[in-house]
């Protein structure tokens, strides 16, 4: 199973302040250990959001609106990621829990997320009846809307 660790940003990261050398060394040692264990596939650090662009889709099938960074609240931003291959969620969690605090100030945070494998359905099996029901309801509302639009209003 593949997992991604999302390393959350903080205000120092967004300001472009590099982690202290002891933090960088601890993280490098952690990555080496994961690589030697065969669990680490890839890792990368991102630039602060001031260097990024955000594309926002506000209309179905419409063109996205582009906004240049920075994007505000640092806590909602991602500073980097790690891609893992683990035998179980428990193993992935055990490795994630060993990650040193990325910033060393008690401000670090990470998310561990499992990647959807291509053979898996996009939604859990329990949701498909709900999804079908919602699609039926949307179709009925569209039909009603079209019928209402096609009738001329009395003057």
Rounded Cα distance between 112 and 55, Å, is 25
List, in sequence order, every residue forming a beta bridge with 114; answer none if it has no partner. 3
**Tens of pLDDT along the chain (155 residues)?**
999 999 999 999 999 998 889 999 999 999 999 999 999 999 999 999 999 999 999 887 788 999 999 988 887 899 999 999 999 999 999 999 999 998 877 788 999 999 998 865 555 555 666 666 676 777 677 767 666 665 554 44
What structural domains does the chain harbor?
A: 2-53+64-114 (3.30.70.1060)
pTM for the predicted model, two decimal places: 0.72
How many CA atoms lie within 13 Å of 1's alpha carbon, on the beta-carbon side?
Answer: 16
């Amino acid at each position: 199973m593949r997992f991604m660790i999302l390393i959350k940003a903080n205000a120092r990261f967004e300001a472009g302040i590099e982690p202290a050398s002891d933090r960088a060394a601890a993280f490098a040692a952690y990555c080496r250990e994961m690589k030697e264990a065969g669990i680490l596939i890839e890792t990368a650090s991102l630039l602060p959001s001031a260097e990024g662009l955000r594309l926002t889709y506000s209309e179905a099938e419409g063109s996205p609106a582009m906004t240049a960074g920075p994007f505000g609240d640092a806590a909602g931003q991602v500073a980097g990621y790690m891609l893992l291959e683990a035998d179980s969620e428990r193993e992935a969690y055990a490795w994630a829990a060993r990650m040193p605090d990325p910033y060393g100030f008690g401000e670090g945070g990470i998310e561990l997320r499992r990647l959807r494998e291509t053979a898996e359905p996009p939604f859990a099996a329990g949701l498909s009846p709900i999804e079908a029901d919602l699609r039926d309801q949307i179709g009925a509302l569209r039909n009603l809307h079209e019928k209402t639009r096609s009738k001329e209003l009395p003057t």
